[in-house]
Amino acid sequence: MLRLAGARLVDERDYPAVRAVLASDPVGSCMVSSRVESLGLDPIRLGGELWAPESRYHRHARLPGLCFVGANLIPLRGDAGALQSFADRALRRPRRCSSIVGPATQVLGLWDELEGDWGPARELRCQQPLLALDRAPAVACDSRVRRVQRHEIDRYYPAAVAMFTEEVGVDPRLGDGGVSYHARVAELIASGRAFARFEDGEVVFKAEIGALSASVGQIQGVWVHPERRSGGLGAAGTATVAATLIRDLGRTASLYVNSFNAPALAAYRKIGFTKVGEFATVLF
């Protein structure tokens, strides 16, 4: 196999080629597109770097590979040689990312290159169906699910912590006492992207729009209070958030879910979501 010389940092001259890569898979690239569209390619503003393989690429041609490197490592495109170049560059520095996430072929291929140095992973989730919906949900929306207001953060935050701990397996307050996670939750609320149903002052359903590109919104953090599960709150609440994206924001609604989460998969299919790809996640 022909080995590429290495990965290089993408700069503003690559912007048209980067946008072409992102546009080729708008649902799969939503997490990166949402940042690039609003912040450009400067690493300081972007909160991370974009890498491309060094090759005989001309800046007006198709990028042979693309990888975002920040709090998460997100490989979006690349053959075996490109993934090797990303791994080579990643291994020149201490690991800072908390996960590798994205299209399954890319994630698992990159992990093959990194596992010897970065492994073992805390958890490897190899099959996470990527789902999308671009029409009205087939499930009735929940009229009591609404945007969370700024003054409600103290009631919303415990549910966000419970969701994160249950889903990721780590308490997000570890390390800094929750300062960073609280700031992230506050940001989602302030931007109108956190949704909840409150009953007697307590959150019984929550979800967020984690990433919002020009054409796609990615739903994350779907959670139902343990005492209220299996009653349809999850499906109706998620349908409400999806309808907000589709009807009010003019986006395709998307999300990805673990293949072993049969109840969630059944609820999303009932809403009308269809599979458009496969994600994978390596958790550290």
Query: The tokens 């140095």 sit on which residue?
Result: 117
Please, what sign has the CA dihedral across residues 252, 253, 255, 259?
negative
pLDDT of residue 129: 98
pLDDT of residue 5: 58
pLDDT of residue 35: 97
3-state secondary structure 184-206: HHHHHHHCCCEEEEEECCEEEEE
3-state helix, strand, coil in the chain (%, to 5): 40, 25, 35
187 with 193: CB under 8 angstroms?
A: no
Model-level pTM?
Answer: 0.93
Please give the Cα distance from 173 to 164 (Å, whole number): 10
Please, what sign has the CA dihedral across residues 76, 78, 79, 80?
negative
Residue 254 has phi, psi (to 5 degrees) of -140, 165
Closest CA to 9 of 60, 48, 64: 48
pLDDT of residue 62: 83
Which one-letter amino acid corresponds to residue 248? Answer: D
Please give the Cα distance from 97 to 89 (Å, whole number): 14
pLDDT digits (tens, 9 = 90+) for 215-243: 999 999 999 999 999 999 999 999 999 99
pLDDT of residue 45: 95
pLDDT of residue 54: 83
Buried b (16+ CB within 10 A) or exposed e, 232-271: ebbbbbbbbbbbbbbeeeebbbbbbbbeeeeebbebbeeb
pLDDT of residue 216: 98
pLDDT of residue 59: 58
Which one-letter amino acid corresponds to residue 229? Answer: R
For residue 36, CA distances in Å to 11, 40, 41, 156, 166 come to 12, 5, 6, 29, 30
* Beta-strand pair 99-103/146-147: unpaired
How many CB atoms sit inside 10 A of residue 96's CB?
Answer: 12
The token duo for 4 is 């590429």
Query: Collapsing DSSP states into helix, strand and coil, what is residue 213?
Result: coil
pLDDT of residue 53: 93
pLDDT of residue 185: 98
pLDDT of residue 6: 84
DSSP symbols for 6-42: -EEE--GGGHHHHHHHHHHSTTTTHHHHHHHHHH-S-
pLDDT of residue 252: 98
Please give the Cα distance from 229 to 155 (Å, whole number): 19
What are the mean pLDDT values of the chain's consecutive 10-residue runs (284 residues total)?
Answer: 69 94 97 97 96 72 92 96 96 95 98 97 97 98 98 98 96 96 98 98 97 98 97 97 98 97 96 98 97
pLDDT of residue 80: 95
